[in-house]
Amino acid sequence: MMTAEIVTENEIAKVIVDAAYKIHTTLGPGLLESVYEQVLAHELEKRNLKVIRQLPIPIVYESVKLAEGFRADLMVENKVIVELKSVEIIAPVHKKQLITYLRLADKRLGLLINFGSALIKDGITRIVNGLS
């Protein structure tokens, strides 16, 4: 069983990518993001990872705490943010959003996974925030 104390972001990411590959080869591209979110959460939980869906992340702006700055599609082991898309092409703004989410949540690794890609390997983008 994986625990947050002994599992690195990179180890978690490998499990997420493997699960995304399995889902994409089984279901194919083109379903709603919400379907992939639900299935990916289920697959990761089967692999003994702690997953929170649609986690509200507060932000602080000029010393005012906003209870919900954004919602992370998936937060895995409280270390990796997974942002899911099901679109033809990832836009630059999608990557910028994830970079901002990582910074605001003080996390070091995020995965942008586009299940709309013909090949899932072309649909996975790793975004880092101070992680080597």
Output the DSSP codes for 21-70: HHHHHHH-S-S-HHHHHHHHHHHHHHTT--EEEEEEEEEEETTEEEEEEE
Please state the domain count of the chain.
1
In a domain, 4, yes or no: no
Summarised one tens digit per residue, pLDDT across range 64-110 is 988 877 899 999 999 999 999 999 999 999 999 999 999 989 999 99
Residue-wise pLDDT tens digits, 26-74: 999 989 999 999 999 999 999 999 999 999 988 888 989 888 778 999 9
Residue 91, helix vs strand vs coil: coil
Reduce the DSSP state of residue 130 to 3 states and report it.
Answer: coil
Q: What is the mean pLDDT of residues 9-34?
A: 96
**What is this structure's pTM?**
0.90
53-89 burial, b at 16+ Cβ within 10 Å, e below that, comes to: eebebebeeeeeeeeebbebbbbbbebbbbbbbbeee
- pLDDT of 131 > 80? The answer is no
Residue 2 lies in a domain: no
The CATH code of the domain that includes 100 is: 3.40.1350
